[in-house]
Structure 1
Amino acid sequence: MKIRNITFSPGFAAFYFDDQSAIKAGAKQDGFTYLGEAATDGFEQIRQRGESISILLELENGQIAEGDCSAVQYSGAAGRDPLFTAARFIPYLQAHVAPLLIGRDIDCFRETAAFFDTLEVEGTRLHTAIRYGLSQALLDAAAKATGRLKVEVICAEYDLPLITEPLALFGQSGDDRYGAVDKMVLKRVDALPHGLINNVQTKLGENGGKLKEYVTWLTGRIQTLRPDASYTPELHIDVYGTIGLIFDNDPARIADYLCVLERRAAPFQLSIEGPADAGSKEGQIALLGQIKSALAARGSSVRIVADEWCNTLEDVIDFVDADCCDMVQIKTPDLGSLHNTIEAVLYCKSKGVAAYQGGTCNETDISARACVNVAQATRPERVLVKPGMGFDEGMTIVANEMHRNLALLSARKAA
C-alpha cells in the first residue's frame, strides 16, 4: 500500500508551553499565566499556547492515516529541541518531508519510521516533534493498510507476544494537586499524583516543608477515600530538580530528606522523579547514582526516576547502563519516532530497570492513543495518562483506547 497524498493541519495541544528556566527562577503566577520575561530561546512569554501539526496520509485504499506532531511542555530545557510552532514548521514539512512521503510504500512501519528518524535536512535531523507525529501516522498507515490494530503491527514487527492484560496507569494532577487526587482515587489509578513540584517557594518550601505536608495529606487522603485496603497506588512525585536546589545538590542531604518523605508516604511505595538537576547529562547520571547509593545505605526503598537530560534512546541506554536510577521516564515526544520508544522500553526491561512510558500534558488525543498501542506491545511498568492536566480527559483517552484494544484482541482470540 502506498501513500497517495498528504495534508498538514495546524492544531492545539492539550496544554501549554512553559519556560521552565523562568519558572524555576521564581516567575510569579498571575491567574493561569506568569508575570515576567521569558528566559528560554524561542519563547515569547513564559506560558504560551501548546501547538500541534496533524499529518494526514491518504492511502491508495482511500483511508486516512493520522499522526500529531507535538512537543513537551518544557521545550528547550535540559537539552531538548526548541519550541515547536505550526507557523514555522508546516512550510518546512511541505518543502522537505511531503515529497519523500508521496508514493512511498507503508506496509512496514519499523523500516519507514527509522528512515525518517535519521533523515537530515541541510545537515540537521528533523525536529523531534515532527519525527514523533510522522511515526504515529506511519504506524496508523501500516495498520490500516493491513487490517490490523496498531498494537498488532508492533508485536508482529518486533516479534513480541500479544498480552491481553491491562497496563498500570499513572495520573498527573497539574497544579490541582488536591482535587485531582480525589478523582484519581475514585477511578483507582495505579500511580499518582505527579504533583508538578516545580517551584521552591510555592510548592516545595524553602526547607522542603510544603512537600512534606503534602505527602502526609496525600497518604491520609488515599486511605480515607479508598473503598478498601486492596487499593494501594504508588506515590510518584515529580520535583523537577527542586530538592537539589534547596540542598545544594548534596546527595547525602537529598537522601536524608527523601527518607523523611518515605516515612510520611507509608504504607505506600514512593517514587521521586528528578530529585536534582546537575545541568548536564554526565553530571545528572553521576548525581542520580550518588543519591541512589545514599538511599541504599540508609535502607530506603524510595525509587529514583530519571527524567531531565534523559531525552533520546541513546540517553536512556546510558542512564540504564550506569545503574543510576530505579526507573526511567521514556518521554515519548523527546525520543522522536515511536520506534525509539519501543526500543527504549524493551532495553529497560532487558536490564531490569523499570520503564515508565511517559510523555507530556502538551500532546493530543491522537498521539496519546498511538502511545497506548506502543505500551500494550512493549509492557512498560507504568503509562502516563495524557494529554492535558485535567486528569479525567486524559484518563478517558488512554484507558478507553486500552480497553477497546483489549476487547477486540480478546474477541479475535475467542473467534
Structure 2
Amino acid sequence: MELTGIHATPGYSGFFFDDQRAIKQGAQQDGFTYEGEPVTDGFDEIRQAGETLIVDIELADGTVVRGDCAAVQYSGAGGRDPLFQAEEYAPVIEGPVADELEGRDATDFLENAEALEVMQIDGDRLHTAIRYGVSQALLSAAAEAQHTTRTDVLADALGTEPATEPVPVFGQSGDDRYNNTEKMFVKGVPVLPHALINSVEKIGENGETLLEYVEWLTERSQELGPDGYEPRFHIDVYGMIGEVFEAPYDRDEVVDYFADLEDAAAPYPIQIEGPMDVGNRADQIDAMVELRQGLNDAGVGVDIVADEWCNTFEDVRAFVDAEAADLVQVKTPDLGGIHRSGQAVRYCEGTETRAYLGGTCNETETSARACAHVALATNAAQVLAKPGMGFDEGYMIVENEMRRTIARREREQRQTGTDEVAADD
C-alpha cells in the first residue's frame, strides 16, 4: 500500500523548553518561569512553551496515521540539535520530506525510516525531531498496511522477540517530588521518582538534601506501596554531584557519598543519572569510568546512568564500549528515527550495560505510545512514563499501551493456533 500524502500541523507538546545552561548558571525561578536572560541559541525566554509538529500520513486506502515531532526539554544543550520551532520546520516536512516518501510502499518501514536518516537539505541532516516524528507515522503506516501491531513491525525490523510482560515503567515526579512520588508508591510504579535534582539548592551544599530525600523515599515507599512492593529508585541529578564534589570522582569523599546514598535507599536498589557534566563526550566518558571504577573497587552498589553527552546512536555506542555506565538512557527524540532507539537498545545486549528507553517530558501522547512499542519490541530494562510532569497521565499512556498491545498479540496468537488446529483437522 502506497504512502500518498504527508502533512504537518504545528501543535503543543507535553511540557516546556528550558534553557538548561541559564538554569545551571543560577537563573532564579519566578513562579513557574525563570528570571533573567536566556543564554542558549534560539531561546527567547529561559522557559518557553514546548512545540510539536503533528505529522499525518495518508495511505492509498484513505487511512490516516500520525506521528509527532518532539524535542527534549533541554534542547540545544549537551551536544543536542538546536531548539525545535514547529513553524520553521513544517515546510520541510510538507516539501522535501514529502517528495522523498510519497509513492513508497508503506510496508517497507525500515527502508522508509532509513531514507530520513541519510536525507540532507543544504548539506545538513534533518533535525532529530523531524526524523523522530515522521518515523513514528511511518511505523504506524506499516502496521496498518500489514494489519499487525507496531511492536511486531519493529521486532521484524530489528530481529527481536518482543516482551510478553510490560517493561518496567520509570515515573518522573518533576519538581513536585513528594506528592507525585507518593502517587507512584500507591500505584506500585516499579522505577521512580526521577526527582529533578538540577540545582545545588535541591541536592544540598554537601549533598545532604538529596540524602534526606532518599531516606524519605525508603520510609514512605514502605508505608504506601502495595504488598510485596520492591521499587528501584532512579534519581537524575543533572551533574550536580560533580558540582558539589568535583573531580577526581574515584576519591574517598565521592565514593563515600554514594555509599551513603546506597545505605539511605536500602533495602532497595538505587541508580543515579548524570552524576556529573564535564562538557564533552570524551571527558564525560572518562569521568563516568573513573566514578564507576571507584564504586566497584569500594563495593558500592549504586548504579550510574549515562545521560549528558549520550544523545545519538554513536554516543550510546561509545558509552557502552567504554563500560562507562550501568545503564544508558536512550533519549528517543535525540536519536532521530524511532528505529534508531530500538537499535541503540539492542546494542546493549550482551554487554554490562542495560538500556533505559527514555525521552523527555516534552513529548506527546502519540510519541509516548510509539515508544511503548519500542520498549516491548526490544524488551528494554525500563521505559519512561511520558509526556508531562504530572506523572499520572504519562504513566497511564505508556503502561496501558503496553498492556493493550500484549493482550492483542496474545489474542492473535491464540487465534492463529486455533486456525492451525482447524486446518490439520
TM-score class, shorter-chain normalisation, is: over 0.9
Q: 1:159 to 1:248 in 2, by over 3 A?
A: closer
Shift of 1:297: 1.4
CA–CA distance in structure 2, aligned partners of residues 5 and 12 of structure 1: 23
CA–CA distance in structure 1, aligned partners of residues 51 and 363 of structure 2: 9
Shift of 1:153: 0.8
Contact 1:244 1:254 in 2 (8 A): no
Q: Which moved more, 1:149-158 or 1:250-259?
A: 250-259
Which residue of structure 1 aligns with residue 169 of structure 2? 169
Contact 2:106 2:142 in 1 (8 A): yes
Note if 1:365 corresponds to 2:365: yes
Note if 1:216 corresponds to 2:229: no
Q: Please give the secondary structure, in 1, of the residue aligned with 2:52.
A: strand
Which residue of structure 2 aligns with residue 46 of structure 1? 46
Q: Please give the secondary structure, in 2, of the residue aligned with 1:293.
A: helix
Shift of 1:14: 0.3
Shift of 1:391: 0.5
Which residue of structure 1 aligns with residue 35 of structure 2? 35
Q: 2:222 is matched by which residue type in structure 1?
A: Q
Structure 1 gap ranges (5+): none
The size of the alignment, in residue pairs, is 413
Equivalent residue for 2:237, pick from 236, 239, 251 = 239
CA–CA distance in structure 1, aligned partners of residues 255 and 163 of structure 2: 38
CA–CA distance in structure 2, aligned partners of residues 109 and 274 of structure 1: 34
Contact 1:194 1:238 in 2 (8 A): yes
Contact 2:187 2:225 in 1 (8 A): no
Q: 2:123 is matched by which residue type in structure 1?
A: G
Q: Which moved more, 1:14-23 or 1:148-157?
A: 148-157
Shift of 1:75: 0.3
Which residue of structure 2 aligns with residue 263 of structure 1? 263
CA–CA distance in structure 2, aligned partners of residues 119 and 350 of structure 1: 32
Shift of 1:159: 2.7
Which residue of structure 2 aligns with residue 291 of structure 1? 291
Shift of 1:94: 2.5
Q: Please give the secondary structure, in 1, of the residue aligned with 2:370.
A: helix
Q: Please give the secondary structure, in 1, of the residue aligned with 2:7.
A: strand
Q: 1:221 is matched by which residue type in structure 2?
A: R
CA–CA distance in structure 2, aligned partners of residues 254 and 38 of structure 1: 32
Q: Please give the secondary structure, in 2, of the residue aligned with 1:349.
A: coil
Which residue of structure 2 aligns with residue 322 of structure 1? 322
What is the percentage of aligned positions where both structures have the same residue? Answer: 52
CA–CA distance in structure 2, aligned partners of residues 340 and 249 of structure 1: 33
Which residue of structure 2 aligns with residue 22 of structure 1? 22
Q: Please give the secondary structure, in 1, of the residue aligned with 2:36.
A: coil
Q: 1:14 to 1:134 in 2, by over 3 A?
A: same
Contact 1:249 1:276 in 2 (8 A): no
Q: Give per-residue Cα distances to partners, 1:259-300, cap 9 Å, x unaligned.
A: 111111111101000000111000000000000001111110
CA–CA distance in structure 2, aligned partners of residues 226 and 70 of structure 1: 33
Q: 1:233 is matched by which residue type in structure 2?
A: P
Shift of 1:86: 1.0
CA–CA distance in structure 1, aligned partners of residues 359 and 157 of structure 2: 23
Contact 1:73 1:361 in 2 (8 A): yes
Contact 1:237 1:272 in 2 (8 A): yes
Note if 1:248 corresponds to 2:239: no
Q: 1:385 is matched by which residue type in structure 2?
A: A
Shift of 1:339: 1.3
CA–CA distance in structure 1, aligned partners of residues 254 and 87 of structure 2: 43
Contact 2:292 2:325 in 1 (8 A): yes
Shift of 1:97: 1.3
Which residue of structure 2 aligns with residue 404 of structure 1? 404
CA–CA distance in structure 1, aligned partners of residues 226 and 115 of structure 2: 50
Q: Please give the secondary structure, in 2, of the residue aligned with 1:350.
A: coil
Q: 1:333 is matched by which residue type in structure 2?
A: P
Shift of 1:361: 0.1
Note if 1:350 corresponds to 2:344: no
Q: TM-score, normalised by structure 1?
A: 0.98
RMSD: 1.0
Contact 1:119 1:125 in 2 (8 A): yes
Q: Please give the secondary structure, in 1, of the residue aligned with 2:348.
A: helix
Equivalence map 1:118-197=2 (5 Å): 118-197=118-197
CA–CA distance in structure 2, aligned partners of residues 226 and 297 of structure 1: 34
CA–CA distance in structure 1, aligned partners of residues 65 and 225 of structure 2: 41
Contact 1:249 1:278 in 2 (8 A): no
CA–CA distance in structure 2, aligned partners of residues 155 and 337 of structure 1: 15
Which residue of structure 1 aligns with residue 103 of structure 2? 103
Which residue of structure 1 aligns with residue 380 of structure 2? 380
Shift of 1:231: 0.7
Q: Please give the secondary structure, in 2, of the residue aligned with 1:351.
A: coil
